[in-house]
Amino acid sequence: MKLVKETDNKILDAKKVSDKEAEEAFKTILTWIGEDPSREGLLETPKRVVKAFKEYFGGYTEDANKILEKTFGDVEGYDDMVVQKNISVQSHCEHHMAPIIGKAHVAYIPKERVVGLSKLARVVEVFSKRLQTQERLTMQIANTLMESLDAKGVAVTIDSTHQCMTMRGIKKEQATTVTNYYLGQFKEDLSYQNRYLRFISTTLKD
């Protein structure tokens, strides 16, 4: 198995855990909660959960910087912000492994080159498909875009619901969490920040 080290996003080798070992671990959990993993309805559940977890946490096997390697310079000098709104976020909190569901809004100000629009959403997805805190997720997306694109500025906003709050603990079903992170011109020049917030404000109200 390959894992991504969170501090520098480099791919590192890690001890290989087989699918079979993971399936046995889920059988143990099924027994722990009071179920019988040998009953008909649960016979294939450990295998299905392993398959699902590979999808939920696929970001550990990807390097977001590589996604941003290909850029385009034929943009006739465009130097204003590029804003992509309503990028779906599906992650899991690292404290309870409960789902985090929401939307991300991303903006950057290019210097000379731009990146394909789908790549912005891919970067959000790579970092989302790991155990996360929303604060760190927001910063990881912003820092990676700033560094990899050599952008003049980056802004990232995430608005999400944490099921560790809605389904357990305090159980506040309507609670949402909004995080923002600004770099470069978005942090230094409030006119850029205000324009960005106006662009996404209708989305945040919905």
135 is catalytic: no
- Between the alpha carbon of residue 176 and those of residues 53, 86, 119, the distances in Å are 25, 15, 26
Q: How many angstroms separate the CA atoms of 181 and 187, rounded? A: 8
92 is catalytic: no
Of 84, 90, 94, 147, which is the active-site residue? 94
Structure tokens that stand for 165 in this block = 């709050």
Q: How many angstroms separate the CA atoms of 91 and 114, rounded? A: 27
Longest distance between any two alpha carbons in the chain, whole Å: 64
94 is catalytic: yes
Of 35, 84, 147, 164, which is the active-site residue? 164
Of 21, 24, 44, 95, which is the active-site residue? 95
164 is catalytic: yes
Of 90, 96, 147, 163, which is the active-site residue? 96
Residue with tokens 């970001």: 59
Of 132, 134, 140, 193, which is the active-site residue? 134
93 is catalytic: yes
Of 84, 90, 93, 163, which is the active-site residue? 93
Of 92, 105, 162, 193, which is the active-site residue? 162
Q: Are 13 and 23 in contact (CB under 8 A)?
A: no
Residue positions annotated with a catalytic role: 93-96, 134, 162, 164
